[in-house]
């Protein structure tokens, strides 16, 4: 199946710093990628839809200035958590549509963010 690579897998940072998470589609081009957030033992909540070459679309309640998304190429989307605070600590996961007709959604391995 299609491979989505996410980096880093784990990051610990101090409060007030910014953290960038990368999501790459390794063997296919993805015009659209999605960013999810997952709290411990909870389901995945969609944060935003990342569109190559255009602005991201954010879900209701997600601060676009806090979570900056850039989709500069067909294989790379980045999520930057700006001025991170402890409440931003979470598991962040990206996904991209793949398959012969973009009929399947594949996920990265996730990034565990811990803000001290």
Partner 1 sequence: QQQVKQSPQSLIVQKGGISIINCAYENTAFDYFPWYQQFPGKGPALLIAIRPDVSEKKEGRFTISFNKSAKQFSLHIMDSQPGDSATYFCAASEGAQKLVFGQGTRLTINP
Instruction: Tell me which residues in 58-87 interact with partner 1 (CB under 8 A).
Output: none
Work out which of 44, 62, 68, 76 binds partner 1, going by CB under 8 A: 44
Please identify which residue in 43, 54, 60, 100 interacts with partner 1, judged by CB under 8 A: 43
Strand 104-107 to 44-51 pairing: unpaired
- Non-local (6+) Cβ contacts of 60 within 8 A are none
69 forms bridges with which residues in the sheet? 79
Closer Cβ to partner 1, 82 or 102, answer by number: 102
The residues near 61 (Cβ < 8 Å, ≥ 6 apart) are none
Between CA 30 and CA 106 the distance in angstroms is: 11
Q: Does 6 bind partner 1 (CB under 8 A)?
A: yes
**30 near partner 1, judged by CB under 8 A:** no
- Length of the chain (residues): 116
CB-wise, 19 or 36, nearer to partner 1?
A: 36
Considering only residues 11, 25, 30, 34, which one is a binding residue for partner 1 as defined by CB under 8 A?
A: 34
């Amino acid at each position: 199946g299609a491979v989505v690579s996410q980096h880093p897998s784990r990051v610990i940072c101090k409060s007030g710093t910014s953290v960038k998470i990368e999501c790459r589609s390794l063997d296919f081009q993805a015009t659209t990628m999605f960013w999810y957030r997952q709290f411990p033992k909870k389901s995945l909540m969609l944060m935003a839809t990342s569109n190559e070459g255009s602005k991201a679309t954010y879900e209701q309640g997600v601060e676009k200035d806090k979570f900056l998304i850039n989709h500069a190429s067909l294989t790379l989307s980045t999520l930057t958590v700006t001025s991170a605070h402890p409440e931003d600590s979470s598991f962040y996961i990206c996904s991209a549509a793949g398959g012969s007709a973009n009929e399947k959604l594949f996920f990265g391995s996730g990034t565990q963010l811990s803000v001290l």
